[in-house]
């Protein structure tokens, strides 16, 4: 996949996307809830539900994005990661962003790659852990758009990389720094926080929760901290369904009872966005203060951490070394294979 013979390799960075203005909030939410991977109802019912939910949630969501300057930071963050990855990969590689629910959409990435004349394509989700609701949905959309536009370049997928050494090293590095900061208030507890999913999704065989556990355990080991106190928790629950747990609220309450400082490590988010900058930095920090937690330290998302970017480059060079391997370790079939 090098430049030998002037070959061009397109790297497609999958992510969810985010509204680029306050006016885009409601259509972004509509696109999200109109995805069959998110709401499994038949098409016409799903469309009606998406219209209703997006209209109901838009005012609250606009308030959140107002705190972020009127737009999601996810696209600029992903653009920075794309440039950093191109720098490491060198000549002959170009990154294209394919967001699922807002610009730049997947169809825009397909068109740009076709115009560039890529000889091969590597699909690189910026979701380290596979879920049917994230990588699965992005992959389905990619295949549909590539077929529709006649993009025939050989394509390989790195479906997930929950224990990729660069990712683990970068996260452990940030976790150690957060731990040292919180240690002045007592022996800290690291909380690896991931976006939640309804239990019904996991019950259908989605490997996300098991892969989050793989990442957290690998990072905890890599910190090198003896007898590390750590736990996994889940945030961003919406709706009346039963979600996987424990919730971050429950873990903060436990930390409050135990009187220990907490270090929050985003374990499934590789970029800053509303779930980190508002939920973790504002809402849960306020909750921690109310609970009397001695210190609350939130570790940055991986962003352009050099070890993480080098890790992504390794995934690009050897996607076959990662696809299906996490599920194999877990003794289950891989949904993307």
Q: What pLDDT, on the 0 to 100 scale, is given for residue 337?
A: 58
pTM of this structure: 0.94
User: Two tokens at 266?
Assistant: 């985003």
Model confidence at 3: pLDDT above 50: no
Asked whether residue 251 falls in the same domain as residue 109, the answer is no
Q: Is the dihedral of CA 240, 246, 248, 254 positive or negative?
A: positive
Residue 335 pLDDT greater than 80, yes or no? no
b/e string for 68-100 if b means 16 or more Cβ within 10 A? Answer: beebbbbbebbeebbebbbeebeebbbbbbbbb
Domain hosting residue 179, numbered range: 165-298
Residue 2 confidence (pLDDT) above 50: no
pLDDT at 8: 97
Please indicate if the annotation marks 195 as binding a ligand.
yes
Mean pLDDT in residue range 252-275: 97
Q: Which residues of 129-149 are buried (b: 16+ CB within 10 A; e: fewer)?
A: bbbbbbbbbbbbbbeebbeee
Beta-bridge partners for 265: 192
For tokens 């997006």, name the residue: 54
Q: Is the pLDDT of residue 295 over 70?
A: yes
190, 181 contact by CB (below 8 A): no
Q: pLDDT, tens digit, for every residue of 102-138?
A: 999 999 999 999 999 999 999 999 999 999 999 999 9
pLDDT of residue 5: 56
262 & 218 share domain: yes
Are residues 139 and 176 located together in one domain of the fold?
no
Same domain, 180 and 293: yes
Q: What is the CATH number of the domain that holds 145?
A: 3.40.50.1400
Q: Looking at the predicted structure, is the pLDDT value of residue 1 above 70?
A: no
Average pLDDT over residues 66-95: 97
Q: Does 235 share its domain with 95?
A: no
Q: Are residues 245 and 135 in the same domain?
A: no
3-state secondary structure of 107: helix
Q: How far apart are CA 168 and CA 215, in angstroms?
A: 7
Residue with tokens 């825009």: 108
164 is in an annotated binding site: no
Percent of the chain with pLDDT over 70: 98
Assess if residue 337 is contained within a domain: no
pLDDT tens digit sequence for 4-30: 458 999 999 999 999 999 999 999 999
Q: How far apart are CA 4 and CA 6, in angstroms?
A: 5
| pLDDT tens column, 253-263 | 999 999 999 99
Kindly state whether residue 107 falls inside one of the protein's structural domains.
yes
Strand order in the sheet with 93-99: 93-99, 9-15, 120-125, 155-157
Closest CA to 297 of 171, 196, 190: 190
Overall average pLDDT of the 145-169 stretch: 96
Distance CA 263, CA 77 (A): 23
Burial 110-124 (b: 16+ CB within 10 A, else e): bbbbbeeebeebbbb
């Amino acid at each position: 996949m090098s430049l030998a013979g002037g070959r061009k390799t397109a790297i497609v960075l999958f992510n969810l996307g985010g509204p680029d203005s306050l006016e885009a909030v409601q259509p972004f939410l509509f696109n999200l809830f109109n995805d069959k991977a998110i709401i499994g109802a038949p098409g016409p019912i799903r469309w009606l539900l998406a219209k209703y939910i997006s209209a109901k949630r838009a005012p609250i969501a606009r308030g959140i994005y107002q705190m972020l300057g009127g737009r999601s930071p996810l696209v600029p963050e992903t653009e920075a990661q794309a440039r950093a990855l191109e720098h490491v990969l060198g000549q002959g590689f170009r990154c294209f962003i394919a967001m699922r629910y807002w610009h730049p959409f997947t169809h825009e990435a397909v068109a740009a790659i076709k115009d560039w004349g890529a000889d091969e394509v590597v699909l690189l989700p910026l979701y380290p852990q596979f879920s049917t609701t994230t990588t699965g949905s992005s992959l389905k959309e990619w295949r549909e758009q590539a077929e529709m536009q006649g993009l025939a370049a050989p394509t390989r997928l790195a479906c997930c990389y929950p224990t990729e050494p660069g990712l683990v090293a970068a996260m452990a590095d940030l976790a150690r720094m957060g731990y040292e900061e919180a240690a002045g208030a007592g022996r800290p507890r690291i909380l690896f926080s991931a976006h939640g999913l309804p239990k019904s999704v996991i019950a259908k065989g989605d490997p996300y929760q098991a892969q989050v556990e793989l990442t957290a355990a690998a990072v905890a080991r890599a910190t090198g901290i003896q007898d590390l106190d750590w736990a996994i928790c889940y945030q961003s629950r919406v709706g009346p369904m039963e979600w996987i747990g424990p919730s971050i609220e429950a873990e903060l309450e436990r930390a409050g009872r135990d009187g220990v400082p907490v270090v929050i490590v985003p374990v499934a988010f590789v970029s800053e966005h509303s779930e980190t900058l508002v939920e973790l930095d504002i809402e849960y920090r306020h909750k921690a203060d109310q609970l009397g937690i001695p210190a609350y330290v939130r570790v940055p998302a991986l962003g352009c951490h050099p070890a993480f970017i080098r890790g992504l480059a390794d995934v690009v060079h050897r996607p076959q070394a990662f696809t299906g391997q996490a599920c194999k370790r877990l003794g289950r079939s891989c949904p993307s294979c």
